[in-house]
A = this chain, B = another copy of it.
């Protein structure tokens, strides 16, 4: 699978790139191509040292879109609208939103846009035939980058296009011990996006680190 990561030099993007690039062709995108090249070199180095294969390139965000079948929008909520305004060519592609609209107070709070979730806002901002799914929301960046640690995580996936959702779930399930769960239509995304501030609160108030979720 050709996977482009818009904002791939951020914490979450890097973590996802490291776990996916030994199994898929990953294109790390960035506003600054040089930063993307550095991230890509770091990813290649990290995987090679472990004797793992690695297919990873660094490019601009636009090239990450153009060269990929699946595009992950690994950007903070506040950058979503301006970033999407600069990108073309999402039409017909599978687009993944791992975006969580939240604020840090004395605790983390889910603060959705008027559409009810980041996913439903993104739905309005991208072409109608872009195949949008919500996934990878609960990725604790440090855990994903720590390649020597097993993940043992559940990832809920929302979306209205069953074929696109199946591809996204297959992509997730290609990572050992990570399991994708169908969490319903795109309109149900708010309940998935809510998990991230919840997990950050659980970490904060119970002196834990990089908390993930499992369904039992």
Interface residues of A (CB under 8 A from B): 106-110, 152-153, 156, 181-185, 187-188, 190-192, 194-195, 197-199, 201-202, 204-206, 208, 211-216
- Contacting A216 at CB < 8 Å: which of B187, B197, B211? B211
**Hey, which chain B residues are within 8 Å of A201, CB to CB?**
183-184, 188, 191
A198 in contact with B191 (CB, 8 Å): yes
Separation of A160 and B215 alpha carbons in the complex (Å)? 28
18 A–B contacts from the bound complex (CB under 8 Å)? A108-B184, A109-B187, A110-B190, A110-B191, A181-B206, A182-B206, A183-B198, A183-B202, A184-B201, A188-B197, A188-B201, A191-B197, A194-B194, A194-B195, A202-B215, A213-B215, A213-B216, A214-B214
**Hey, which chain B residues are within 8 Å of A109, CB to CB?**
187-188, 191
Q: Is the interface of A mostly helix, strand, loop or mixed?
A: mixed
